[in-house]
Amino acid sequence: MKYVLVSGGVISGVGKGIIVSSTGLLLKTKGLKVTMIKIDPYMNIDAGTMAPTEHGECFVLEDGGETDLDLGNYERYLNITLSRNHNITTGKIYQHVIDRERRGDYLGKTVQIVPHLTDALQDWFVRVAHVPVDETKVEPDVCVIELGGTVGDIENAPFVEALRQLRRKAGLASKDTSDGLIIHERHRHRYEVNPAYVSRLASHGLSFVGKDDQGERMEVLELEDHPWFVGVQFHPEYLSKVLEPSRPYLGFFAASAGCLKEVMEKLESGKAGGEKLGEALEEANI
C-alpha cells in the first residue's frame, strides 16, 4: 500500500479536491487501484447538519453517509464507491476515541492527543485504505489522502502529527518485514509487551509498527533514527528458508553490509523470493 498526501498551506477552497481527484485518475490510468480518504478538521461529526452556505450541499454516499462534496468528485472521477469511513472529521475521531475510553479500552490511562488520538487516526487510515472500493472487490494499491483546510490551522495539528507518524511507520519495518501491511507468522511463547508501558516506551522513541489482528498486542517495534533496530514478537526462523530468508534476518544482514536501502528497493520492485531474491542480493552486491 502506498499513500499520497495532498494538503494546502495558504487558504482553503483553492481546488485541492479536484487536484486529488485528478491525481487519483492519473494513477488509475497506469493500472493501479486507487482509494481516497478526505480529512475535514471541523468538529461536526459529518456534513449532514451544516448549512449549504458553509461548504455547499453535502454528498450522500451509498451507505447513507453525509459527507463533503469532494467525496462526490472522487466517486465520479474514479468510478468507485466510498463509505462514510472514507471521510474523517475532528468530531468523528474524537467521538471514536471518547467511546473507547468510556468502554475502558484504554485500561485507565490518561487519554491524550498523542499517542491515543494520533494512533486512532493511523489505525483508521490503514484500515480504510485496504477496503475495496470498486466492482472487482480487489484491495487498492494506492490511497490518496486529502487534508482539508490548511496545514497551519490549529485544528489540523493532530492530523498532521498522525500523518507524520504514519509516514515513518509505513517506512523501514513494513518494507523489510513483509510484502504488505498484513503478515502471518508463527508464535511459540506467551510473552508480550505490557500494555501499561506501551505509551511510555513510544514516547522515548520506540515505534510499535506491528500489532495483532485485534490491535491490542504489540508484535513489531522499531527504534527511530537507528540504522537497524527491529524487534519482533513472533519467531521469524520458523518461516525462514535458504533461498527466501525471513525479512528481519535479511534486513539485519543487509544493514550490516551497508546496503539496506538497495535491497529494500529490489524487494519493492518484486524480486522477493527464490532466484529473484538471489538476483536482488547480487545486484545489491551482497
Q: In what order do the strands lie in the sheet with 34-40?
A: 2-6, 142-147, 34-40, 87-89
Domains of the chain (ranges; CATH) run 2-170 (3.40.50.300), 174-283 (3.40.50.880)
pLDDT reported for residue 196: 85
Q: Check: CB of residue 109 under 8 Å from CB of residue 199.
A: yes
pTM higher than 0.85, yes or no?
no
pLDDT reported for residue 270: 61
Q: Read off the C-alpha cell for 200.
A: 511510555
pLDDT reported for residue 49: 92
Q: Which residues contact 247 (CB under 8 A, 6 or more apart)?
A: 176, 177, 178, 236
Number of alpha carbons in the 13 Å side-chain half-sphere of residue 19 = 13
Q: Which residues contact 190 (CB under 8 A, 6 or more apart)?
A: none
Q: Read off the C-alpha cell for 55.
A: 461548504
Return per-residue pLDDT of the chain as tens, 286 residues.
889 999 988 777 778 899 999 999 999 999 999 999 999 999 999 999 999 888 888 999 999 999 999 999 999 999 999 999 999 999 999 999 999 999 999 989 899 999 999 999 999 999 999 999 999 999 999 999 999 988 888 999 999 999 988 876 665 555 554 445 677 788 777 778 888 888 888 888 888 888 887 777 888 988 877 888 888 988 888 788 877 888 888 888 888 888 888 887 777 666 444 445 556 556 656 5
CA dist., res. 286 & res. 263, Å (int): 9
pLDDT reported for residue 25: 96
